[in-house]
Structure 1
């Protein structure tokens, strides 16, 4: 029964992540983005069993990306690497910096390559914008949101068990 519950919760996590990203498309894709769904990646810090749902949610969300298959591969890989790194963090804020750095680098490089940045444009600038969007979504919104959610004993049990 516990395996079925975990499978269903991962499916819900994947669906919520994808729907939030696609529903907020204007701010979810491109060189300046704040993917509010990314605040959900902190679930992986609290419990590794949510990694499949988060990864699949990112993959599904990237089906809608204007960068197509490349974003499905690069974006989903960046999310998975971030999720796996979070377990080594000593606290939630430090964990929140993994997707900021990883997505800043991976997605920054992807967008720079696909957009063919000209000599006047800056790869560092693209990386900084992506990282800043991640910081807002994960390190600010996500950390505050999880601080509030974990005060509820029922939600805390679902998240951490």
Structure 2
């Protein structure tokens, strides 16, 4: 029963992540991006099933996305690391922080490499800053209120 619940939660989180990325696709990719689905990165605080769920959701979204294998691998890795760190953080106010920092560094560096030598090229720190800002909006602006909602209603969903 416990394993089935874990797998079901992970699959549902992955599916919801992909749907949110696709629904808000114009905002989900690029150097200046706000992935609405990143609000879900607070879910590891409530269930460890969110770690594989978010990772798979990001991998599937990036398979569909424009940046190819580099984004699939690095996006999945960044999400896995950030989700694990969010799972380990005991303070609610800090739960959205790992996805902001990890994605700013890893995805910022990846986008710098992808856009290197193109007219869209920007300095590395600028790209990291823009990615971090988008993550801050998604993770704290949307994710933190989601924590408050799940504090109130989460028992019906996760237990």
TM-score by length of 2: 0.91
Structure-2 separation of matches of 1:11 and 1:121: 37
Q: For residues 44-88 of structure 1, what are the alpha-carbon distances to aligned partners after superposition, in whole Å with 9 as ceiling and x for unaligned?
A: 122223211111111111112211111000111000010111233
Misfit runs of 4+, over 6 Å: none
Contact 1:117 1:123 in 2 (8 A): no
Structure 2: 5+ residue stretches without partners: none
Structure-2 separation of matches of 1:121 and 1:15: 33
Q: CA deviation at 1:147?
A: 0.3
Q: CA deviation at 1:126?
A: 0.5
Question: Who is 1:50 aligned against?
Answer: 50
Structure-2 separation of matches of 1:97 and 1:138: 8
Structure 1: 5+ residue stretches without partners: none
Structure-2 separation of matches of 1:146 and 1:87: 13
TM-score by length of 1: 0.90
Structure-2 separation of matches of 1:146 and 1:7: 22
Question: Who is 2:155 aligned against?
Answer: 156
Please give the root-mean-square deviation of Cα atoms over the aligned residues, in Å: 1.8
Question: Who is 1:113 aligned against?
Answer: 113
- Paired residues for 1:67-146 under 5 Å: 67-116=67-116, 121-146=122-147
